[in-house]
Structure 1
Amino acid sequence: MVAGKPEPAVPRQAGQGVLWRRARAVLDAMEHLVGGLGTALLAFVAMAWVTVVALLCVVGVGLLLTPSLPRAVRAVAARERARLSRWGPEIIGPGRAPPRVRDALADTGLRRELFWVFEHGTVGLFFSAAAITMPVAAAQDITYPLWWRFLPPGDREPTGVFWSVRDEATALPVTLIGLGLAAAFVLFGPVLARLQAWPGRRLLAPTSDTDLSLRVAQLSATRAAALDAHATELRRIERSLHDGAQNRLVGVTVLLGATRRAFDRDPAAALAMLDRAQDAAEQALAELRTVVRGILPPVLNDRGLTGALAGLAANCGVPCEVDVDVPGRCAASVEATAYFVTAEALTNVSRHSRARHALVTVRRQGAQLRLRIEDDGVGGADARGGSGIAGIRSRIEAHDGRLTLTSPPGGPTTLEVELPCGS
C-alpha cells in the first residue's frame, strides 16, 4: 500500500478504512432494502390489478381494462430498473409497452417483467419486510430495559422472548437478543440486499434478441463520445498553446527586436531587455512542459501508475490513501485515463466535498482495470452540476468503460470506474 500520509499512520488508517467500509455497506444494505420494499409494494399493487382484471375477463368486463396491464407492469419494472441502476450496472429498459394486448403477450421482455412482478410482489415483499424488521427489532430489544416498566403488565414480554419480564434481571437479557439481531444484520444485511436485487437484475435485463441492437447503439454512442473527447482535448491543447506559450514566444520576439534596436544606443537597457526575453522564454518553456504533461504525464513512464497516483494523493488537499494492486502494466492510454480521472476526482474532493479522508483503490481483475475513489464528505455530487464528472464520464466512455457514481446527500461519495485493459 502506498499512502499519501506518513507510513506509521497507515495501519491505523487501514483498520479505520475496514470499519468504515463495513459501516457503509450496512447502511447501503438498509437503504437498498427500504428501496426494494417500496418497489415490492408497487409490484404487489400491479400483481393485484393483473389478478383482478384476469378474473373480470371471465365475465367479459375485464376486456375493457386489459390495455392498462402492459403499461402498469412496465411502469413498475421501470422503477425497479432505475433503482437497481443507481446501485450498480445500468439496466437498460425496452421502452414503451406495446399498446395492444396481443402484441404484449408476444413480447418476451414484458412476459419476463410480469413474472418479476409476481415474484417481487410476493417473495420480494416478504423478504424485504423480514429483512427490515431485523434492525427495527434489534433497536427495540437493545433499548427494552429502558422503557419496559412503562408498558401495561400484560404486554411487557417482547416478541420472541419465552420468559416473563418482572424486574431488571429478567429485562436485561432482552438486550442480548437485540445485540444478536444487530450483529446478524451487520453480517448478513449486505447479502440480503444482494439477494433481494438478484431477481430484478436477472429478469429485467435486456433479452437476448435485443442485446445485439443495444450493443450496437452503445458502441455508436461510445464512438461519438470518443470523437467528442478527442475534439475537446484538441481544443484544450490549442487553447493552452494559444493563450500561454504562443503569447510568451511573441513577447520574446518583440523583446529581441527591441534589444537589437537598442543595443547600439543603450547597451544597459539592451541587457535588461535580454534578461526579460530570457525570463519570457523560460516561462514559455514551462508552459509547453505543462501542455505536454496534460497529453501524457511523464510520471506514468517514470514511476508507473502506482507512483503517479501516490503523487496525486500527496498533493491532495484532503488526507488520501492509495491502494494499488495492478500486476504488470496496462496500455498507456488506459493508465493515462486512470490518472486523469483520479486527478479530476481528487480535485473535486478537495474543492467540494468537505471530506476528512479519501481513499483510492485500483485493482486489475482479468481484462478490467477497476478504479474506486471514495470520500467521507457531504455527498450530493451530480454530473449535471458542473463538478467535472461529465468530463470524467466522456474520458471513460471513450475507452468503452463504465462509470458508477454513488453520492447521496450527506455522503459518502463513491466513484467506481471500469476500464478495459486487455487480457
Structure 2
Amino acid sequence: MHPTLATGLRQRRRDLAYLTVEGAHWFESLALLVIVLVLLPLLALSVGWLAVPRVVGLLYSSADRARTRSGRFRRTAVPLRRTDLTGPFTVKEQAGLAAAPATRRDLVWLLFHIAVAPVCAVLAPGLALGAVLYTLTPAYWWAFAPRAPVTYAFEVTSWPLAFATAGIGLVYGALAWGLIPWMAGRVSAASLALLRPGRSTQLAQRVDALSASRAAALDTHSAELRRIERDLHDGAQNRLVGVVMMLGLARRALENDPAGALPFLDRAQASATEALAGLRAVVHDIYPPVLDELGLEGAAASLTSRCAVPSALRTVGLRRAPAAVESAAYFVVAEALTNVVKHSGAHHVDVVLRTDSTLDEDVLVIEVSDDGRGGASLASRGTGLVGIARRVAAFEGTLTVDSPTGGPTTVKAELPCAY
C-alpha cells in the first residue's frame, strides 16, 4: 500500500473512532440534561439548591471528559480545571455556582453535544460501513438465493446490478473519505471552543489560584515554623539545658571529688545523645532523607509498615515528581495515617499512590481509605484534615474527603507536578 494512502487510512480510522466515541457519550449527555431539567423546578424548594453542587459537579465532570477527548484528538494541551465542590455551601454560593460562567459554558456545550452526537454516531459509521458493503457486493451477491437476494437501494439479481451497487459504494467511500475527517475536525474544534474559557477568564482563574496557593503556602510555612520552634523548645533545647547543668555539676565535682564527677558526665552524655536524636527528628520532619534514598514509594512503604493499623500500599504508574511535591505527598500520607490511628477506629487502611497524566501536566494522586467509623470532614477540628488541606492547597492541589457516617472514609489528594 502506498505510504500516503496508509497514512490517510490510519487518520480516518482515528477520526471515525473519535466520532463513534462522541456518539456513544450522547446517552450520558442526554441523561445529564434530564437531571438538569428535573432540578430546575426544584430550585423553588430548598432541596433543589442542596442538589446544585452535585449536579454542577456531574456537569463539570462530563464536560472535562469531553475536553480531554477533544484535546487528545487534536493533540492540544487542555488546562486542568480544579474546582472544589466539596462544600458545605451557603445558598448564595450555590446560586453563584449555578450561574457561574463555567456552568453556563458547559450547559451550552451539553446542548451542542446532544444535537451533534447522534449525527456523529449514525452518519460517520454509516458512510464507512456502506462504502465497504456496497463496494464488496460483486464478491458475494451470487451466494444468495434468488428468492432472497441482496437488497440495498435495490435488489441485486445480476452482475450489472452488482457492479452498479459497487459504484454506489465508491461514492459512499468518497463521501466518507472527505466527510469523516471534516466532521471530526469541526466537532472537536467546536467542543474545545465551547468548553475552553476565554483568555481573560483563564488569567483571572490563574491569579485567584496563585493567590490562594500563596496564602496557603504562607500559612503552611508559618505552621511549620511554629511546629519546629515548639519541637526545638520542648525537646532539644531542654535536653541541652540539662547537658549544661550536668557539665556544671561535673566541673564542681572535679574540684572537690573527681570520682563523683563521672555520674554527671554520664548523664550529660545521655542528654546530649537525646538532644541529637531530637534534632535529627526535627530535620527528618522538614525533609525526610528516606525520600532521597528510596523515593516516594519506598518512603510511603516505610510509613505503612510502621502504622499501628494494618496497612497496604499500592502504586499505579507512579512517576518521580519534584522534590517539594514528593515531600508534600509524604507528609499527606503520614498525617492521614496518623489521623486514621487516632480517630477512625479502623481495622485496615489502603494507601494508593499513582500519577495521572494529562495533556497539560502530571498529577500525583494520593488516596488513603480506611474501614473506620466515618464522619470525618474538612470542617472537623483536631482531626488533622485541615493541615492536610492547607499543605495540598499550597501546591494548587485539591483535597476531597468522602466519609459517610459508619464509614468507609477515603481521603484523596491531587498534587500537580508542574513545579
Which structure 2 residues correspond to residues 24-173 of structure 1 after superposition, within 5 A?
41-45=38-42, 76=48, 79-82=51-54, 90=83
**What corresponds to 1:223 in structure 2?**
214
Give the 3-state SS of the residue equivalent to 2:309 in structure 1.
Answer: coil
Which structure 2 residues correspond to residues 162-241 of structure 1 after superposition, within 5 A?
208=198, 210-241=201-232
Alignment match of 1:291 (pick from 264, 282, 285): 282
User: Are 1:260 and 2:251 an aligned pair?
Assistant: yes
**What corresponds to 2:338 in structure 1?**
347
> 1:208-255 CA distances to partner (integer Å, 9 max, x unpaired)?
464542332222111111011111111111111122111111111121
How far is 1:297 from its partner?
Answer: 0.9
Greater Cα offset, 224-233 or 378-387: 378-387
Cα distance between partner residues in 2 of 1:206 and 1:78: 27
Cα distance between partner residues in 1 of 2:349 and 2:42: 43
Compared CA separation, residues 359 and 41, structure 1 to 2 (3 A): same
Alignment match of 2:377 (pick from 360, 378, 382): 382
Contact map agreement 2:318 2:353 (CA 8 A) in 1: no
Compared CA separation, residues 419 and 115, structure 1 to 2 (3 A): closer
> 1:133-163 CA distances to partner (integer Å, 9 max, x unpaired)?
xxxxxxxxxxxxxxxxxxxxxxxxxxxxxxx
Give the 3-state SS of the residue equivalent to 1:263 in structure 2.
Answer: helix
Compared CA separation, residues 368 and 45, structure 1 to 2 (3 A): closer
Structure showing greater relative contact order (alpha-carbon pairs closer than 8 Å, 6 or more residues apart): 1
Contact map agreement 1:229 1:395 (CA 8 A) in 2: yes
Give the 3-state SS of the residue equivalent to 1:43 in structure 2.
Answer: helix
Give the 3-state SS of the residue equivalent to 1:90 in structure 2.
Answer: coil
Cα distance between partner residues in 1 of 2:93 and 2:378: 24
Cα distance between partner residues in 1 of 2:318 and 2:259: 60
Compared CA separation, residues 343 and 91, structure 1 to 2 (3 A): closer
Compared CA separation, residues 264 and 45, structure 1 to 2 (3 A): closer
**What corresponds to 2:306 in structure 1?**
315
Greater Cα offset, 377-386 or 208-217: 208-217
Compared CA separation, residues 245 and 354, structure 1 to 2 (3 A): same
Contact map agreement 2:42 2:48 (CA 8 A) in 1: no
Give the 3-state SS of the residue equivalent to 1:330 in structure 2.
Answer: coil
Compared CA separation, residues 372 and 45, structure 1 to 2 (3 A): closer
> 1:242-283 CA distances to partner (integer Å, 9 max, x unpaired)?
221111111111211121111131122211100110111011
**Structure 2 gaps, min length 5:** 1-32, 62-81, 113-191
Give the 3-state SS of the residue equivalent to 1:387 in structure 2.
Answer: coil
Cα distance between partner residues in 2 of 1:287 and 1:232: 19
**Structure 1 gaps, min length 5:** 1-35, 47-71, 99-103, 120-201
How far is 1:41 from its partner?
Answer: 4.6
Letter in 2 for 1:384: A
**What corresponds to 1:10 in structure 2?**
none
**What corresponds to 2:365 in structure 1?**
370
Compared CA separation, residues 112 and 76, structure 1 to 2 (3 A): farther
Q: Aligned-residue CA RMSD in angstroms?
A: 3.9
Alignment match of 2:325 (pick from 325, 334, 341): 334
Alignment match of 1:406 (pick from 376, 383, 402): 402
User: Are 1:391 and 2:363 an aligned pair?
Assistant: no
Cα distance between partner residues in 1 of 2:216 and 2:347: 34
Compared CA separation, residues 270 and 339, structure 1 to 2 (3 A): same
Identity percentage of aligned residues: 46
User: Are 1:421 and 2:393 an aligned pair?
Assistant: no
How far is 1:294 from its partner?
Answer: 0.5
**What corresponds to 2:133 in structure 1?**
none
Q: Of the two, which has the highest radius of gyration?
A: 2
How far is 1:389 from its partner?
Answer: 0.3
Compared CA separation, residues 258 and 76, structure 1 to 2 (3 A): same
Contact map agreement 2:35 2:55 (CA 8 A) in 1: no
Compared CA separation, residues 360 and 115, structure 1 to 2 (3 A): same
Residues matched between the structures, number: 274
How far is 1:392 from its partner?
Answer: 0.4
Contact map agreement 2:84 2:398 (CA 8 A) in 1: no
Letter in 2 for 1:373: V
> 1:337-363 CA distances to partner (integer Å, 9 max, x unpaired)?
111110111111122212222111111
Letter in 2 for 1:291: V
